[in-house]
Structure 1
Amino acid sequence: MPESYWVESTATTSFPSLAQDITADVAVIGGGIAGLCVAWELSQAGRSVVVLEADRIAAAVTGNTTAKLSAQHTLIYARLRTSHGEQAARLYADSQQDAVEHACRIVADLGIDCDLERLPAYTYVESSEATEQITAEVDAARQAGLRACSVTETGLPFDVAAALRVENQAQFHPRKFLLGLVRQMTHDGARVYERTRVMGLEEGRPCRLACENGTTVTAADVVVATHYPIFDRALLFSRLQTKRELVVAAPIPPEQDPGGMYVTTEHNTRSIRTTPYRDGQRLLIVTGEIAEPGSGDAGERFRRLAAWTRERFAGTQISHRWAAQDNATTDHLPYVGHLHPGAEHAYVATGFSGWGMSNGIMSGKLISALITGHDLPWAGLYDPRRLHPLREAGPIAKLQAKAARHFIGDRLRSSHADSIDDVAPGSGAIVRIGGRRCALYRDTAGVVHAISATCTHLGCIVAFNQAEQTWECPCHGSRFGTDGAVLHGPATQPLEPIDLDIL
C-alpha cells in the first residue's frame, strides 16, 4: 500500500482502544482534521471530550491530503455568487480565511513545528479560451473580500494564460499540526481512543454510542466527523458525491520551488505545492487524476500523473505516491452543523470537496460554537438541514441514477472474471461461484482470499483497485482491504469471508 509523506515522516500513534463504558460531555467520532479540531475547540471551552477513531488518528483521509490551508478553492467564488448570492460568497470567504488565521495563531501559541509557510495561492489556466473563468473568479473573490488579483507570471516552470493569485494563504504538515493539538488537549484532559469503531448511535438526552467491541459511550452531544457520515438517518448519501484523487511526490532542489500553491481544473485537475524535505531539498507534491472509487485500475492514472510531473518539472524522480478521497455536496458547500432536521445533540461535518484543511478547522470552530451556545455568522451557510430543491434537484437525481446504475447494472454482469484460475497473483476480480458473487484476491504467493462482493453499506457490488490493492464501492466510496476489513466508510461492517470449499 503506498504511504503518504505525511504518514511516513511522523511516528505512528498508539492510543488505547476503549475497554470499558465511559461518559463525557462530547463524544467525537472520527480522528481526522475535522474531528480533532472539534475536540480541540471544545476542550479549550472546558468540555470533557472523548475522540473515537476506528483506526489511527490523522492517518486516513487527513493523512493523505495535499495539505493546502487556503481560502482560495479553485473557482468557487464565481459559482457561489451566481448560485447563492454575494452574501454567501462573502461568508464563505470570511469563514475560510478565518480558519487559515486561526490555525496560524494556534501554531504560534503552542509552538508547533509543522512546517507552516505563508504563501500565495493560485488558480491558473493554460488555455487562452479559459481566461474568462479567471477574470470572473478574480472579480468574485475580490468582491468576497479576499486579496485577489489577476496575473500572467507565476513561479511555475511553464507558461500560463492567466492566473488568480490570492495573498496570505498557508501550507503545513497536517499530521505534525494535529499531533501537536492532541498532545496539548490530552494533557488538558481530553481522551483519545484508537481502534475503536462506532457502530450505532442512540440520540437523546444523553446520547449513547455503541462500539464494535461492546463498549458504550454516553455523552450529552455527539459529533460525526467520519469524513463520509457512517449514519444514514440524515440521508446525506443522496447529496454527497465521492471522488478519489491521486498524488505523486518528488524531491527537487530549492531553486526549482515554484513559491506558492497552484491548482487548475485542466488536465483532469493538477494541484501543485512543495514542502521542506531532507538535506535542504523541497518535496514537490502533485495531485490530480480525479475519478470515482471503483471506476477502474488507478495504475494508468498514476502513470499519467507521474509523466505530467516529469514533463513539467524536468529531472524529477518520483519518490512517493498515494491517494486521497473526498466528498462534494450537491450545492458545493460543506455540511457542518446538526446531523438532521430533528437532531438536537448530534452534529456532522462532511462534504469538504477537496479543501479539508480549512474546512476541518472551520468545522471545529463552528460545531464548538453550536454546542456551547455561541453564534458564528456563517452557521446558516453550512447548516446540513438546508435544501434547495430547484438548485439541487438535478445533481441529486444524477447521484441517485449513478448509484442505481451500479446497484442494478453490476448485478446483471455474469462476472468480472470467468473462474478462479483467471485471477492472477497480486490481483483481484469478481467471480460468480455457486451462484454467489465472490470478491477474489490472489496474493503473490498464489493463495486465494475470498470475501463477499456485496458492500455492507447499501449493497452495491465492489470493484478491485489494482494500484492500491483494495476493494472499493462505486456507489458511496466505502473501501475494504483484501481481507474485507473496512478501510473507509460509510460502511462499518467488513465484507463477509467466504469458504470456497463449501460453495
Structure 2
Amino acid sequence: MTTLPGTHESYWMDSVPPTPHPALDGDVEVDVAVVGGGIAGICTAWELARAGRSVAILEADRVAAGTTGYTTAKLSALHGLVYSQLARAHGAEGARLYARSQQDAVEHVAEVADELGADCDLERVPAYSYVESADGVDQIRAEADAAREAGLPASFTTDTGLPFDVAGAVRVTGQAQFHPRKYLTALVADLLDHGGSVYERTRVLDLDEGDPCRLTTENGATVTARDVVVATHYPVFDRALLFSRLEPRRELVVAAPLPADRAPGGAYLTTEQNTRSVRTTPYGDGRRLLIVTGETFKPGTGDTEEMYLRLAEWTRERFDVTEITHRWAAQDNHTTDRVPYVGLFHPGTEHVWVATGYGAWGMSNGVMSGRLLAALITGGASPWAELYDPRRLRGLREAPAFFRLQASVARHFIGDRLTTTHVDSVEEIPPGSGAVVRVNGQRCAVYRDGSGTAHAVSARCTHLGCIVAFNAAEEAWECPCHGSRFGLDGEVLHGPATHPLDRVDVSRE
C-alpha cells in the first residue's frame, strides 16, 4: 500500500474543533428550513435570521464540516477563465452581473467579519489566473480584457510573485482569502443569538411541497416551514432533474509550511497540468501554510494515490518545501453553462429554493447565494436573480456540455455493469484495499482491512443505481455518475444519495 504524505485531514478542520449542536428529536415549525449546513446554508440562514425570520438549519453531519470544511477557501471574483465564456454564453450584461455579484460577496464577508469581530484570518490579496506555456498567452490576454469589461480591476501581467516564471497572467486586485470555519462559526453563534436553530446529525429524507412544506428526517421527526432551502451541495431531491445538468468533480489538496518571507502574496490558479491552485494562510511562528490544490478528476475514476504523489512532488519542486503536513480533497459540481443554480428549485414551486453548482468557487458563491435567497424569500429583488435562476433554459448554447455529461453518465451506468471486475474473488483483494467483485451473482463493494477481514456492501449507489468504485487514497466508495460517496461500511459521506449502501455477507462466497 502506498504511503502518502501528511495527515489525512483538512487544515481548516484540524485547526478549529467542532462546536456540537443537538440532533432534532421532535417536530418543529419555522418560517424557513435550510437543509445543509455548509457555507451556502449557513449564510442563507444568517441573512434570514437578521431579517427577522425564524430559521432552522438541518445538517446530516456537522455544520461547516462537509465540502465547506475541505475547500481551498479563496474568496474571489476571478474564477479561472470564466469571463470570456460568460460573455459568449450570457452576453456582456450577464458577465457584468456575474462579476458584480461575486465581488459583492467578497466585500460582504469583509463587512460581516468586521461587524461580528470574527477573527477569521481574512486577508486582502490579488488573485491571478496564469499560464506557463506561451501557447496560452492569447487566452489570458482575452480573459483580462473580458474581466475588465465585466467591471473587475483586471490587468495582464507576467509579474505574479510566484517562485517560477509564467508566460502571462490575469491579475485582479481587491480579492481575499480567509479561514472558512472561523468565519462560519461566528455566523452560527450570531444566528443562535437571533433566535435561529441548528440541528446536526439530522439527515433529511423526504420533502412534501405542500402549503406549508414538510420535511421528514431520518429519525421520523418533521419540520414544517413556509419556505425550504435545499443547500446540500448536490441537491438531495431529484424532482428538478438538476442531476442531468450537474457534473461532480473532485480535486486533491496538499499543504506544507514555509517561511513567511518566501510565501507568494496572492491567490493563484492555472488550468494547466490538470489544475494547480495556490494560496497561503497564517501558520504561526513566522511561517505560512502553503495550500496547493489540483489533479481534477471525476469521483470514482483515476488513481488517487498516484495523483496525491504527483501533486506533492510538484509542490516540493516549485516551492522548495520538505514537509507535507496535511492532505485532503475537495468536491464541487459544475453546471453545463458555468453559472450556479440559485433560486426557485423548479417551475412548479413557489416555496422551495436551491443553491448548487458552484464550479469549485463555493466561497464567493455560497455568500452570494445567502444574500440572493434571503432577498427573494423576504420579497425583495436582486439584479442578478435571473442570471442564477435554476429554471433558465439556454437551448443550443448549453447542448454540447449537456450531451457530453449525459454520455459520460450513460457510459458508467451501462459500461460499468458490462466490465469484468479485475478480481474474481474476495480472497484476491489485498489487505488494506478494496474492489468491486461479483459474489453469488451480486456486485459487491468489498474492502479487506489489515487483518484480512472483508467488509462488504452493495456496489449499487442508492441514488440512481450506478456502480461505485474504490478511492484508495481516501478509503471510500464513490459513484462516478453523480458523485455520491460512501464509507467502508456503506454510510453516506456525500450526497446526492441519502441512504447507505446495503451491507452484504460474503463469508460464504
| TM-score above 0.5, yes or no | yes
Structure 1 contact 296–464 (Cα < 8 Å) conserved: no
The question of 1:66 aligning with 2:69 is answered no
Match of 2:478 among 449, 472, 485: 472
2:121 maps to 1:115: yes
Paired residues for 1:160-171 under 5 Å: 160-171=166-177
Equivalent positions of 1:84-483 (< 5 A) are 84-483=90-489
Give the total of aligned pairs.
503
SS at match of 1:267: helix
Mapped partners of 1:66, 1:501: distance in 2? 42
Offset of residue 481 of structure 1:
0.1
2:4 matched to which residue of 1?
A: none
Aligned twin of 1:12: 18
Q: CA deviation at 1:316?
A: 3.3
Q: Counterparts of 1:230 and 1:2 in 2: how far apart (Å)?
A: 27
Residue pair 1:30, 1:53 contacting (<8 A) in 2 also: yes
| Aligned AA (2:460) | T
SS at match of 1:310: helix
Structure 1 segment 13-92 matched on structure 2, within 5 A: 13-92=19-98
Q: What displacement does 1:413 show?
A: 2.0
Equivalent residues of 2:333, 2:360 under 8 A apart: yes
- Does the CA contact (< 8 Å) of 1:420 and 1:431 recur in 2? yes
Partner Cα distance (2:294, 2:83) in 1:
21
Contact 1:271 1:287 (8 Å CA) reproduced:
yes
Deviation string 1:172-198 (CA, Å, 9 cap, x unpaired) is 000000001001111211000000000
Provide the aligned C-alpha RMSD in A.
0.9
* Pairwise CA distance, 1:501: 4.1
Which amino acid letter does the alignment assign opposite residue 52 of structure 2?
A: G
Using the alignment, how far apart are the partners of 1:154 and 1:413 within structure 2?
47
Secondary structure of the corresponding residue to residue 459 of structure 1: coil
- In the alignment, residue 283 of structure 1 is paired with which amino acid? L
Identity of aligned residues (%): 65
In the alignment, the residues of structure 2 paired with residue 119 and residue 346 of structure 1 have an alpha-carbon distance, to the nearest angstrom, of: 37
TM-score (norm 1): 0.99
Is this contact kept in 2: 1:465–1:471, CA < 8 A? Answer: yes
The SS at the match of 1:85 is helix
Separation in 2 of the partners of 1:361 and 1:9? 22
Q: Deviation per CA, 1:31-53, whole angstroms, max 9, x where unpaired?
A: 00000000000000000000000
User: CA offset at residue 447 of structure 1?
Assistant: 1.3
Per-residue CA deviations over 1:441-468 (Å, capped at 9, x if unaligned) read 1112221101000000000000000000
CA distance in 2, matches of 1:73, 1:431: 41
> Tell me, what secondary structure is at the counterpart of 2:372?
helix
Q: Give, as a single letter, the amino acid of the residue that structure 2 aligns with 1:239.
A: R
Contact 2:255 2:326 in 1 (8 A): yes
Gaps of 5+ in 2: 1-6
- C-alpha separation between the residues in 2 aligned to 1:159 and 1:415? 45
**2:155 corresponds to which letter in structure 1?**
C
Could you tell which deviates more after superposition, 40-49 or 407-416? 407-416
Distance across 1 between alignment mates of 2:289 and 2:257: 4
Q: Secondary structure at the match of 2:8?
A: coil
In the TM superposition, what is the alpha-carbon distance from 1:386 to its structure 2 partner? 0.2
Counterparts of 1:275 and 1:451 in 2: how far apart (Å)? Answer: 40
Query: Does the 8 Å contact 1:438/1:450 carry over to 2?
Result: yes
Letter in 1 for 2:439: I
* C-alpha contact 2:205 2:218 (8 A) present in aligned 1: yes
Instruction: Note the C-alpha offset of 1:154.
Output: 1.4
1:402 to partner: Cα distance: 1.1
Q: Once superposed, which parts of structure 1, at least 4 consecutive aligned residues long, lie more than 3 Å away?
A: none
Amino acid at match of 1:230: V
In structure 1, what is the Cα distance between the partners aligned to 2:74 and 2:507?
A: 50
User: Deviation per CA, 1:373-432, whole angstroms, max 9, x where unpaired?
Assistant: 101100000000001110111211111111111111111123231111111111100110
Can you list the C-alpha shifts for 1:312-344, whole angstroms capped at 9, x where unaligned?
Answer: 001332111000000000000000000001110
CA distance in 1, matches of 2:382, 2:490: 42
Whether the 8 Å contact between 1:49 and 1:191 is mirrored in structure 2 is yes
TM-fit CA distance, 1:502:
6.0
**Structure 2-normalised TM-score?**
0.98
Shift of 1:278: 2.6
